[in-house]
Amino acid sequence: MSNLIPSQIMPANDSIHDLDAYKSFVPVFNFTTFQAFLPFLYICPTIVVMLTILVKYKKAKAALNSATMDNNIFACIMFYFTFNMLFYFGDYFHLNLPTAGFVTSWCAGVQPNRGFTFLLMYAYYSNFGVIICPFLVCLMRLTIMMSPRQNERYCKLIMYRFAIPFLFLVPLALVAVNITTTGYCKQLNHPFSFGSIIIYEGEDYARLNTIIHFSFSSFIFSSNTTMTVFMLYKLRMTQTSSTSARTKELKRRAEFSLFLAVVSSVAPFITNSICSISFLFDRTAWDYVLFVRPIGNDFETTMMPWVLFLTHPMFRSKKKTSPVNKASVFVTSTNTSSTRNATAVTS
């Protein structure tokens, strides 16, 4: 049970509503309170990088830059950026800020209400969007690799017939179970100190949300891993003794790109899985491992934009790429299958 003063009787659900000790709570500046501000040190530059990527991509498309990437892949990446930012702020108000104690006294005076419920649904919805987007990027890459000549047609069909509905409707269905619950502010147990709270939906709903999240993320992660392994296998199988140096370089970049994509999704999957498993099977350990969840989520939020910005040819200012002309289009259309496969994955 929480580290409360003796005169307080804590409700069974650990709600802090209308408890005088929490109404008069004043946070003391320490590492716990500092962590409420720490993420902005890397989130703000990441937002700038995201906007820079968008602006440079539009300029590259307008100039018919040969280093630009596939439209559908870029759209999925921008969805990924957007959902990452939405989830960051949702999780910040759901977990990071409340645990710092800055809203504890205010929250103690607010009755459990549906406003907290919608905050939780917003955080969960955006989190599912973050989980889905790497899957869609991987699916687009695989489509381009398997159908290099007709990839534009197939990718467009996948985008409008599957990707967009899947991205926006599936998370809505997964969070719909929370519509009947009422959110409230809950005191976290040891090792969190008195005043460290979380916006909570109740034990039964939290367990249901954890099961849904863990099952869905495991399915998506398994799908991503399977597609990535298959693409790496295809890249290796197209390697021949007569392969040109340029194609070998493209393959090396493709394999490195796929490796980074896997790494960016592994970290949050591991941290979220640790929290989910501890919540389901060892409830007392959940408070001890809860701090690792924001680490994995923030790692994913920042890694993809920075990796894309620092490694993609479109953003390398020192290396100028020539506009696409008829000759380059002809070369692309008559290129070897192995070169097209490698180029598709690096897009």
Give 262's Cβ-side CA count (13 Å radius): 17
What pLDDT sits at residue 308? 80
Q: Has residue 89 been placed in a domain?
A: yes
- For 145-154, what is the mean pLDDT? 85
Q: Has residue 6 been placed in a domain?
A: no
Question: Which structural domain range is residue 228 located in?
Answer: 20-346
What's the chain's length in residues?
347
Which tokens in the block code for residue 243? 């392969």
What pLDDT sits at residue 196? 93
Q: What is the DSSP letter of 30?
A: S
Going by pLDDT thresholds of 50, 70 and 90, the confidence category of residue 332 is very low
Q: Has residue 147 been placed in a domain?
A: yes
- For 164-188, what is the mean pLDDT? 96
What pLDDT sits at residue 2? 46
What pLDDT sits at residue 334? 34
Q: Has residue 9 been placed in a domain?
A: no
Angle of helix 245-281 relative to helix 203-237, nearest 10 degrees, comes to 160
What pLDDT sits at residue 66? 54
Q: Has residue 179 been placed in a domain?
A: yes
Torsional sign, CA 45, 47, 50, 52: negative
Residues whose CB falls within 8 Å of the CB of residue 182, separated by 6 or more in sequence, listed in order: 112, 113, 114, 116, 117, 201, 202
Domain CATH number, residue 220: 1.20.1070.10
- For 207-235, what is the mean pLDDT? 92
What pLDDT sits at residue 7? 47
Distance between CA atoms of residues 283 and 293, nearest Å: 16
Q: Has residue 135 been placed in a domain?
A: yes
Distance between CA atoms of residues 40 and 16, nearest Å: 28
Among candidates 277, 276, 299, 278, which has minimal Cα distance to 288?
278
Percent of the chain with pLDDT over 70: 79
Statement: residue 335 has pLDDT above 60: no
First to last CA, the chain: 52
Higher pLDDT, 346 or 236: 236
Residues whose CB falls within 8 Å of the CB of residue 76, separated by 6 or more in sequence, listed in order: 133, 136, 137, 140, 163
What pLDDT sits at residue 211? 97
What pLDDT sits at residue 319? 47
Statement: residue 171 has pLDDT above 80: yes
What is the value of pTM for the model shown? 0.84
What pLDDT sits at residue 339? 47
Q: Has residue 7 been placed in a domain?
A: no
Number of domains in the chain: 1
pLDDT digits (tens, 9 = 90+) for 118-140: 999 999 999 999 999 989 988 99
Q: What is the mean pLDDT of the chain?
A: 82
Q: Has residue 8 been placed in a domain?
A: no
What pLDDT sits at residue 318? 52
What pLDDT sits at residue 326? 34
pLDDT digits (tens, 9 = 90+) for 226-258: 998 898 888 777 665 556 776 667 666 656 665
What pLDDT sits at residue 280? 94
What pLDDT sits at residue 34? 85
Residues whose CB falls within 8 Å of the CB of residue 84, separated by 6 or more in sequence, listed in order: 130, 300, 301, 304
pLDDT digits (tens, 9 = 90+) for 292-320: 888 888 888 888 888 888 877 777 655 44
Residues whose CB falls within 8 Å of the CB of residue 300, separated by 6 or more in sequence, listed in order: 84, 130, 264, 265, 267, 268
What pLDDT sits at residue 242? 53
pLDDT digits (tens, 9 = 90+) for 25-71: 999 887 778 888 888 999 999 999 999 988 988 887 777 665 567 78
